Homo-oligomer: A and B are copies of this chain.
Amino acid sequence: MTVEAPKRATAAPERVLWKGNEAIAEAAIQAGCDAYFGYPITPQAELLEWMARRMPELGRVFVQAESELAAINMGLGAAATGARVLVSSSSPGISLMAEAMSYMAGSELPIVLVNVMRGGPGLGSIGPSQSDYFQATKGHGHGDYKVPVLAPSSIAEAVDLVATAFEIAERYRTPTMLLADGVMGQAMEPVVPTFRMPERPSDGWALTGAAGRPPRVVRSLHLQPEDLEAHNRHLQAKYRTIEEREIRWATERLDDADIAIVAYGTAARVARTAIERAREAGLAAGLFRPISLWPFPSDALAEVAARTRAILVVEMSAGQLVEDVRLAVGRATPVFFHGRTGGMVPTPGEVVDALRRAWALTEDRSGETR
C-alpha cells in the first residue's frame, strides 16, 4: 500500500518543504502506521496536528487522549492487537510514559515513540534540547529492559528512521524510540520524500480475537519469580541480538582527522559546520555520529578513538552522551565536552573554540595517540 503524500510548497519538482514534525508524521503514515495517540505539547505539536488531519482522511485511528498517560496506554492496547502504532510527545510528556514503556517492554509490544526534546528539567523551556538522552537510553521505566533509540540529524534521515524504527520494533517486538529535538521538529527543510513501508512480520502473538484458535496472552506479569527470571533471560538474549545487529552510526572526514567530534541530531549539524571551519583553520577534525543511541556504537567509536588525539563530545545538554563515549573510549584517549542547556544550541564558533582547547590540552600527548 502506498498512500499519496500531500504536497506542500516544493523547492524543486521532487522536493517538499517540510517541518521535521510534519515529515516524521507523514513518514509514519507512509510506513503504514495504523494508529496514533498523543496529547499536545510544544515543540512536537505539529506532529500531532498532522496526524489529526491525515489519519482520519485515510480511515486510520487518531486519538488525542485525555493525557499523555492515557495516550501511551491506548498505544499499548492498540499495539497488543498487532496494530502499527505511533505515539509522540516532548520531554515532560515522555516522562509520564515511563510506566507504560516498561509494561510494553515486558509484554514485548512493538510501538514507536517519538520524543521531540525540549529544555528541562521540569517544565523547563520550549527551546530545543538533547537532555533526555539518559532517559531514552538508560532508566526511563523500572526493570531490566532496553529500548532501541534512533537519533536522526536531518529531516530526510528522520523520514528514513521512522520506517527503520517500525522495522526494529516489530522484528524484535520491542518499544522503540525516535529521539529528536526541538530544532529537528521545528526547522523546515526541503526533503525528497523517499518513504518506505516495512513488511508486516507475522503477528502470531497479537490479540486479534480468539475465534477458531486458542486464546493468546499478552502480559508483563509473571508472578512466579522463576518464570519472570526466565522471561528476563529471554529479553536479555533479545537485547544482545539487537546489540549485534542494530548498531548504526555515520562518520564524516574521519580518515585524516586528528580530533573527532562525537555528536548526534542537531548538535551533529552544528559540528559539521564547525569541522569545516576548523579545517579551514588547519585543524583536522572529523565527525563520529551515533545514529542508534542504544545500542551504542562503542566498538566503532573505540576504533576511531584509537587513532585520534582527542574526542570532543558536543551536546545540547549538561553532558549525557559523554558518559557513553567515556565508557566506549576508556582512558586511552582524552574526552572533552562542550554543551549548552535549557533550549540553547551551541554555535559553530563555540565548537571550534572547544576543538582548539582540546587540541591545546592534549599537545603533549600527540605523540602517543597516533
Contact = CB atoms under 8 A, between A and B. Distances in A.
Interface of A: 56, 59, 61, 63, 65-66, 69-70, 73-74, 91-92, 94-96, 98-99, 102-107, 117, 119-127, 129, 131-145, 219-233, 235-236, 317-320, 323, 326-327, 330-331, 340-344
A228 B92 contact: no
B95 A99 contact: yes
Given A66-B73, A102-B95, A132 B121 contact: no
Given A139-B138, A225-B343, A228-B127, A320 B103 contact: no
Nearest to A224: B125
Nearest to A233: B341
A9 B318 CA distance: 51
Contacts of A99: 92, 95-96
A161 B317 CA distance: 31
Nearest to A118: B142
Contact of A143 (B121, B144, B236): B121
Contacts of A144: 120-121, 131, 317-320, 341
A73 to B, nearest CB: 7
10 contacts: A59-B59, A91-B142, A92-B142, A120-B142, A122-B219, A125-B221, A134-B138, A144-B319, A229-B342, A327-B327
Nearest to A96: B99
Contact of A139 (B137, B145, B326, B327): B137
Contacts of A106: 120-124
A219 B343 contact: no
Nearest to A59: B59
Contact of A342 (B120, B139, B232): B232
A56 B131 CA distance: 39
Nearest to A132: B142
Given A126-B223, A127-B225, A135-B138, 16 more contacts: A63-B63, A103-B122, A106-B121, A117-B142, A123-B221, A124-B221, A124-B228, A131-B144, A132-B143, A133-B139, A135-B140, A140-B140, A144-B317, A144-B319, A228-B341, A233-B341
A65 to B, nearest CB: 7
A342 B124 CA distance: 36
A260 B93 CA distance: 42
The 7 A-B pairs at the shortest CB distance, nearest first, are namely A120-B143, A122-B220, A106-B122, A228-B342, A121-B143, A225-B343, A134-B139
